[in-house]
Copies of this chain bind each other. A is one copy, B any other.
Amino acid sequence: MRDVVLNILLDNLGHFVSGEDISRQLGITRAAVWKYIKLLQSQGYPIESSTKKGYCLRQVPDILDDALLLRGLDTSVLGRKMEIHSSIGSTNARAKELALNGAPEGTVVIADEQVQGRGRLGRSWISPPGKGIWMSVVLRPRLFPQQASRITIMTAVAVANALKRSAQIEVGIKWPNDIVCGGKKLCGILNEVHAEPQVIHYAVVGIGLNVNFSQEDLPDSIKDLATSLKIEKDKEFCRVDIIRAILQEMEKSYLQRLNNDRFTELLKEYEAHSVILGKRVRVIGIGSELSGYAEGFGEDGSLILRLDDGRLETILAGDVSIRGESSYV
Is A201 in the interface zone, CB < 8 Å from B? Answer: yes
Question: Nearest chain-B residue to A97 (Cβ)?
Answer: B100
A191→B197 contact, CB < 8 A: yes
Q: What is the bound-complex CA distance between A151 and B198, given in angstroms?
A: 12
Contacting residue for A198 out of B96, B145, B201, B316, CB 8 A: B316
B192→A144 contact, CB < 8 A: no
Is A148 in the interface zone, CB < 8 Å from B? Answer: yes
Is A199 in the interface zone, CB < 8 Å from B? Answer: yes
User: Looking at chain A's contact residues, is the secondary structure mostly helix, strand, loop, or mixed?
Assistant: mixed
Is A194 in the interface zone, CB < 8 Å from B? Answer: yes
When each residue 178-211 of chain A gets 1 if its CB lies under 8 Å from chain B and 0 otherwise, what string results? 0000000000001111111111010000000000
A317→B198 contact, CB < 8 A: yes
Contacts of A76 in B (CB 8 A): none
Quote the shortest CB–CB distance from A86 to chain B (angstroms).
24
Question: Nearest chain-B residue to A195 (Cβ)?
Answer: B193
Q: What is the bound-complex CA distance between A145 and B199, given in angstroms?
A: 12
B199→A193 contact, CB < 8 A: no
Contacts of A194 in B (CB 8 A): 192-194
B121→A197 contact, CB < 8 A: no
Question: Nearest chain-B residue to A120 (Cβ)?
Answer: B196
Contacts of A318 in B (CB 8 A): 198
Quote the shortest CB–CB distance from A258 to chain B (angstroms).
14
Is A149 in the interface zone, CB < 8 Å from B? Answer: yes
Contacts of A199 in B (CB 8 A): 121, 286, 317
Is A289 in the interface zone, CB < 8 Å from B? Answer: no
Is A176 in the interface zone, CB < 8 Å from B? Answer: yes
Considering the complex, which residues of chain A in the window 141-155 have a beta carbon less than 8 Å from any beta carbon of chain B? 142, 144-146, 148-149, 151-152
Contacts of A176 in B (CB 8 A): 197-198
When each residue 204-220 of chain A gets 1 if its CB lies under 8 Å from chain B and 0 otherwise, what string results? 00000000000000000
B197→A152 contact, CB < 8 A: yes
Is A301 in the interface zone, CB < 8 Å from B? Answer: yes
Quote the shortest CB–CB distance from A44 to chain B (angstroms).
35
Q: What is the bound-complex CA distance between A96 and B100, given in angstroms?
A: 10
Considering the complex, which residues of chain A in the window 116-156 have a beta carbon less than 8 Å from any beta carbon of chain B? 120-121, 142, 144-146, 148-149, 151-152
Beyond A145-B146, A151-B197, A194-B194, 17 extra complex contacts between A and B, CB < 8 Å: A121-B199, A144-B317, A145-B148, A145-B195, A149-B197, A190-B196, A191-B197, A192-B195, A192-B196, A192-B201, A193-B193, A193-B194, A193-B196, A195-B195, A197-B301, A198-B316, A199-B286
